[in-house]
Amino acid sequence: MAKTKTNQPGSESNSEKLWGGRFDGATDPTVERFSASVHFDRALARYDIRGSIAHAQMLAASDLIPNEDAEALVAGLTSIQNQIDADEFEFDPALEDVHMNIETRLHEQIGAVAGRLHTGRSRNDQVATDLALYLKDACQAAQLGVLELQLILIERAKEHIDTILPGYTHLQRAQPVRLAHHWLAYVELLSRDRQRFFDARNRLSHCPLGAGAIAGSTLPLDRSHTAEALGFTAPTRNSMDSVSSRDMALEIMADTAICMINLSRMAEEWVIWSSTEFSFMELADAYSTGSSLMPQKKNPDVPELVRGKSGRTVGNLVSLLTTMKGLPLSYNRDMQEDKEPLFDSVSTLRDCLEVMSGALATAHINVERMAEAAQDPMLLATDLAEALVREGVPFREAHEVVGRIVAHCVKTGADLQHLSHADLSEFHSAFSSGAETLLDLERSFAERTLVGGTARERVQQAISETESELIEARKAVEDMA
Ligand code: ARG
């Protein structure tokens, strides 16, 4: 548990402030509580320590501090990291934020030499650097999470290449599709989501350290040294931009919101498919819950929660957009409000990807129910119109003719599938045979060989091509520096 120290106005506790020289009075306890961020920004601790280690080593390499002091700083920081890993580090809200907590502990551990760490540095460039490192990891994790779900979609698509269900528009049965094709649609959507995180990570290539509070430093810092040590390609090019921008957090929250909205659509389908009315899918017991009152219920809470949680990621994005709106250059304390919505979006996406992957991998698909629903001959009405087009009839005319045939079936109860050649000829002389021949599901699929279509070989090809792409992408993302 973190302990709370309070500074009484005029008390000596103000000396606890590492930057307290300017102040006579201590911070009001309410203000201390109000402005503290360590209860959430502690999530940045390991990035803060990485940044501080790189900074200390650069200071020594630039002859700004003795080598042995840098070694003492690095050893102290490493030991603090170990304490955090072992859950033995007590974060103190009276020390405001993660940066001051770590630096204060360093003082306690290694004494006055700790005072050299903040040479040529401000918390403004420090927090910007921590965030950039955090965001790079978040982009990598999001890509891996998306890839995992995509690979499960591919696995299940392989299993269900011959499972046929109605494809829907307006949630009305439209045309029959393969379940594999349906799932590959999500694989495509998720690839774009993944690419957005990939692109965002590439934009996180410049290191803010050395920008200081706003205008750099008079000290001869080697900014390229820290940039390289932390895996950036170069230092940022403008010190004011470095400490005042949060567009990368916004971008990643936008990417997260888009991805979550996409997940919410798949989740919604699973909810619908799990209903008794559809019965296309049954989630495994491990991914369903019961009702506390109705013993018969098996509820799809997991996809429902994913659908629900997509809302908060949109809210998080809007929250930070609104915080940033109209902020003058450069750093403003408002920007401390970036972290809670950001962290929430990042962990929400991670969790949702994980549960969606597990739920999909273990779900039972009711192949018979899907096939039964796809038997509806009306789903092939478009094929009937296209049969007329093949005979030279303009499509608009063919559409009209088939519309009348469908209306006739609806009115008289006749079965579209069983209309004879003579029946069809009453509607148009160009029909070459009866509906039984023209409305063959197998043939209908076999003919859909267009790129992106539902013919078996097309879907097979899409599965194998996409799978190798995904496996390659996963290797590349795992190896990201
Ligand atoms: N906790 C602060 C934040 O997240 C760190 C920077 C504080 N800088 C300052 N000048 N008060 O934005």
User: pLDDT tens, 404-462?
Assistant: 999 999 999 999 989 999 999 999 999 999 988 888 888 888 888 898 989 999 999 99
209 lines ligand 1 (CB under 6 A): no
Q: What pLDDT sits at residue 16?
A: 54
What is the domain partition of the chain in residue ranges?
3-119, 134-373+471-478, 377-447
**Positions in the chain whose pLDDT score sits under 70:** 1-19
Continuous segment of H or E residues that includes residue 177: strand 172-178
Measured in whole angstroms, the distance separating CA 69 from the mean position of its chain's CA atoms is 42
pLDDT of residue 18: 64
The predicted model scores a pTM of: 0.93
- Give residue 17's pLDDT: 61
Closest C-alpha to ligand 1, atom 7: 123
Does ligand 1 have an atom closer than 6 angstroms to the CB of 398?
no
Report the alpha-carbon distance of residue 452 to residue 450 in Å, rounded: 6
H, E, C per residue of 223-241 = HHHHHHHCCCCEECCCHHH
Q: Same fold for the domain at 3-119 and the one at 134-373+471-478? A: no
Tell whether domain 3-119 is in CATH 1.10.275.10: yes
CA of 40 to the centre of ligand 1 (A): 13
* pLDDT value, residue 290: 78
Contact, 405 vs 398, CB < 8 A?
no
Q: Is 396 exposed, middle or buried (0-12, 13-18, 19+ CB in 10 A)?
A: exposed
If you take atom 11 of ligand 1, which residue's CA is the nearest one? 333
Domain 134-373+471-478 part of CATH 1.10.357.10:
no
How close is the Cα of 257 to the center of ligand 1, in Å? Answer: 26
What is the Cα–Cα distance from 433 to 291, expressed in whole angstroms? 54
**Active centre residues (catalytic):** 170, 291
Residue closest by Cα to atom 12 of ligand 1: 336
Question: Is any atom of ligand 1 closer than 6 Å to the C-beta of 336?
Answer: yes
pLDDT computed for residue 11 by the predictor: 37
Which runs of consecutive H residues, i.e. helices, occur in 328-380? 339-362, 367-374
Instruction: Tell me which CATH homologous superfamily contains domain 377-447.
Output: Fumarase/aspartase (C-terminal domain) (1.10.40.30)
